[in-house]
Structure 1
């Protein structure tokens, strides 16, 4: 009897744990799929590209070159030459003229937002410290989540909020490591103004990234990059002529400076080209979480190239941010495809119209 009772009870005792085990196993299987691993890997490639821009900017600053708008102008010009040229050879509604005819003001606003986001964050370095910028720049993530929730109808689960908190904890560890290592660099001439500029930049980046996510998931990456290249070149060119004419003429141009400008432009062009692809695969929020490791890559390069002091907290923060980013991908977000819904509704309306017409004809036949 005892053996029989134990045989009967053991499945019952194990029963409540089985759904949890199955859920955990299914999540692990999803986490280690090629799609998720590729997303994580590409996110770190984006971080490396941002690290490349930071290193080249540091070298330019050491040579007395402070021309952020000129650097942006070169990047947008590259996008113009590559992607706008591709649009120029297309025909119909997908051609450059077809896109400009119907969406020019939308892409103009997106480009303006992107240009000003880049400019304000660089400008903030003149007024506040690196620590403040690193902390306040994370404001882009909650703003992204709110805007995505409202406009893209993205639905986050508790795991996503926990993972974001873990990533921000890693950023806090990184800032603490900066303070310990004595890297609280930057100006402190007007901290309040600098902090406000960082918050403005983070908000503009969030708006730009949400617009980018909507565009690349409903249109195409080439169209987005081509229009951003076109309008970004125009807007940054105007600002360059107004704000940085004296700074550009004051630059001592030689081979190293040309090389650094070229390296910066190539890294940024690669970043702009790859980022829509990764956003198309995941979301703007996930991409920005992956970019939190960019500061750490820059620090590691700084330790090797610029002899920064090393702190063990850098490795701790890298692990924490990586864990948070992986946690974010354990549970997929729910995002309705707006274009698909529109197509489906049109198809449903057409089906209902056809069905209604058939029923009407049947009724007429029956009447006869």
Structure 2
């Protein structure tokens, strides 16, 4: 094998390895999100109507762990503190609106409207980060959306629909998608400028401050009415652990790829919930779930493997590796 052919093979192999690693990491985060949704639903079933309080302990864990690392390193902030305050505000509101929506509308409606997060992320990264998307990337994102629609179609047959106030619930979900998108884009911008520990510590700190403030205003009476039990406490502990892991891995994906691929990966969270259905509730699973998982997988592969640089293929053919080539083509900071 010639030296140019060897370089082409090595570069192509590295690209595929990176693509697969990011996709697998995205699915791990998606599975953890399914656990978050499960524990949040379980806490509500146990009588704890406290969506902000659930997130409070997760933000505190992020602050303590990552803040301790920053103090040990004597790290000085790279980004202004008010950027982190704004991102944390968006994140807390997104969590609050999403968790509150489940009390007014169906899981089916929440799952369907949740896909708007991807659309908002694409819009915001284009506006604020200057990210450019190819037609193939948009096509891959559309395929992921189609896979989610199959899940929703299956849920309608299983028992979707309903809710005490569907219109209010849908408005809350839509607002939550906007806040989540703004939070993800802000995190992507910050994490690509410096290390993950600073971003996690500062979002955890301001997330804790905003959560305590909102609990004092909105959830104090709800907390007084909660009957605490061992099962409920363990649910809060499980949610906190999953919250910490979810946010820690999220920053890894945002640094390696970007907020668009991250949110596309999260579209499979409802499918991972099938695993929880099978093992915890012994429920039957519709065949559409398996089809939708495969469809979303194809869409993710198309999106993540699409070449943004049209000259890359020619460079590889000539045996000239492009050192500036980025895996997911979302480097929005020019």
TM-score by shorter chain over 0.5: yes
Using the TM superposition, give the Cα deviation of residue 203 of structure 1 relative to its aligned residue in structure 2, in angstroms.
Answer: 0.8
1:127 to 85, 104, 114: 104
Q: Could you say which residue in structure 2 is the equivalent of 1:364?
A: none
CA RMSD, 1 decimal: 2.2
Q: How many residues align?
A: 307
Kindly indicate whether residue 167 of structure 2 is the aligned counterpart of residue 192 of structure 1.
Answer: yes
Kindly indicate whether residue 292 of structure 2 is the aligned counterpart of residue 310 of structure 1.
Answer: no
Cα deviation 1:215-250 (Å, max 9, x = unaligned): 000122111101001100010011112211222222
Contact 2:117–2:177 (CA under 8 A) maintained in structure 1: yes
1:283 to 255, 258, 264: 258
Using the TM superposition, give the Cα deviation of residue 32 of structure 1 relative to its aligned residue in structure 2, in angstroms.
Answer: 6.4
Contact 1:30–1:36 (CA under 8 A) maintained in structure 2: no
Using the TM superposition, give the Cα deviation of residue 299 of structure 1 relative to its aligned residue in structure 2, in angstroms.
Answer: 2.6
Evaluate the alpha carbon distance shift between residue 53 and residue 337 of structure 1 in structure 2; reply closer, same or farther with a 3 A threshold: closer
Q: Which has the higher contact order (CA 8 A, sep 6+)?
A: 2
Evaluate the alpha carbon distance shift between residue 337 and residue 146 of structure 1 in structure 2; reply closer, same or farther with a 3 A threshold: closer
Q: Could you say which residue in structure 1 is the equivalent of 2:48?
A: 65
TM-score, normalised to structure 1, is 0.78
Q: Could you say which residue in structure 2 is the equivalent of 1:265?
A: 240
2-structure distance, mates of 1:72, 1:186: 27
Cα deviation 1:236-284 (Å, max 9, x = unaligned): 0111122112222222222222211111100010000111111110111
Using the TM superposition, give the Cα deviation of residue 30 of structure 1 relative to its aligned residue in structure 2, in angstroms.
Answer: 6.1
Q: Secondary structure at the match of 1:218?
A: coil
Using the TM superposition, give the Cα deviation of residue 140 of structure 1 relative to its aligned residue in structure 2, in angstroms.
Answer: 0.8
Kindly indicate whether residue 179 of structure 2 is the aligned counterpart of residue 179 of structure 1.
Answer: no
2:94 to 107, 117, 137: 117
Q: Could you say which residue in structure 2 is the equivalent of 1:349?
A: none
Using the TM superposition, give the Cα deviation of residue 329 of structure 1 relative to its aligned residue in structure 2, in angstroms.
Answer: 1.2
Which is richer in helix? Answer: 1
2-structure distance, mates of 1:312, 1:231: 43
Q: Could you say which residue in structure 1 is the equivalent of 2:207?
A: 232
Give unpaired runs (5+ residues) of structure 2.
1-7, 309-328
Using the TM superposition, give the Cα deviation of residue 146 of structure 1 relative to its aligned residue in structure 2, in angstroms.
Answer: 1.2
1:243 to 218, 229, 236: 218
Q: Could you say which residue in structure 1 is the equivalent of 2:82?
A: 105
Where in structure 1 do 4 or more consecutive aligned residues deviate above 3 Å? 28-32, 332-338
Contact 2:131–2:332 (CA under 8 A) maintained in structure 1: no
